[in-house]
Amino acid sequence: MKRVLIPLAPGFEEIEAINVIDILRRAGVTVTVAGTKSGSIIASRQTNHIPDCTLDEVRAEDFDMLVLPGGLPGTTHLRQDPRISQIIQTMLARHCFVAAICAAPTVLADAGVLTGRVATSHPSVRAELAGKVGRISDERVVVDGLIITSQSAGTAMEFAFKLVEILCGPAAAIEVNRGVLAK
């Protein structure tokens, strides 16, 4: 069974995290939601969320994919957390997938893993990607090797289905879609 790590930092974008968690779990993926701090995490729209564990309780080696939700100031917190950069490096060294949506591709850029790659992000953070990415795309979801990026809360469903397709295959994405009628 595939395993995905989704870290939550205070101020994360709800749609980008919860939608992905939901769709991946519907596909039978084991999703671990790890808080960057202990206790509940208040998201960008002031909703309260209780992670499965803290980031200190997980090992990058136990996962097939890392998914970084965007949102502000959640993305800023992820960018400032050295554990996130270390997990990104470990995942890619193991040839595992790393995904980021909205403002979170800036976390990947800061980790130095977008050099020479095609990526997308929310338009409001594209200036922060300049010089750190091979090319910025206007596509809603972009896959470049082991890196998957997406634009915003409005693309979260497409992003989630692309992650299912990558981890579990196209048939799994079709089957999950039958239940949620996304496309």
CATH number of 138's domain: 3.40.50.880
**For residue 183, what pLDDT is reported?**
64
CB 23 within 8 A of CB 4: no
66 domain-assigned: yes
Domains held by the chain: number: 1
pTM higher than 0.95 for the full model? yes
20 domain-assigned: yes
62 domain-assigned: yes
Query: Which residues, 6+ apart, have CB-to-CB distance to 26 below 8 Å?
Result: 176, 179, 180
- State how beta strands 65-68 and 97-101 pair: parallel
The catalytic site residues sit at 102
- 109 φ/ψ sector (left φ>0, alpha ψ -120 to 50, else beta): alpha
183 domain-assigned: no
182 domain-assigned: no
**For residue 181, what pLDDT is reported?**
85
161 domain-assigned: yes
Cα separation, 161 vs 146, in Å, equals: 16
102 domain-assigned: yes
Burial of residue 125 (number of CB atoms within 10 Å: 0-12, 13-18, 19+): middle
Segments forming the whole domain that contains residue 108: 3-177
Cα separation, 66 vs 166, in Å, equals: 13
Please write the tens of the pLDDT for every residue from 83-111: 999 999 999 999 999 999 999 999 999 99
Tens digit of each residue's pLDDT, the chain (183 residues) = 999 999 999 999 999 999 999 999 999 999 999 999 999 999 999 999 999 999 999 999 999 999 999 999 999 999 999 999 999 999 999 999 999 999 999 999 999 999 999 999 999 999 999 999 999 999 999 999 999 999 999 999 999 999 999 999 999 999 999 999 866
Cα separation, 70 vs 76, in Å, equals: 9
124 domain-assigned: yes
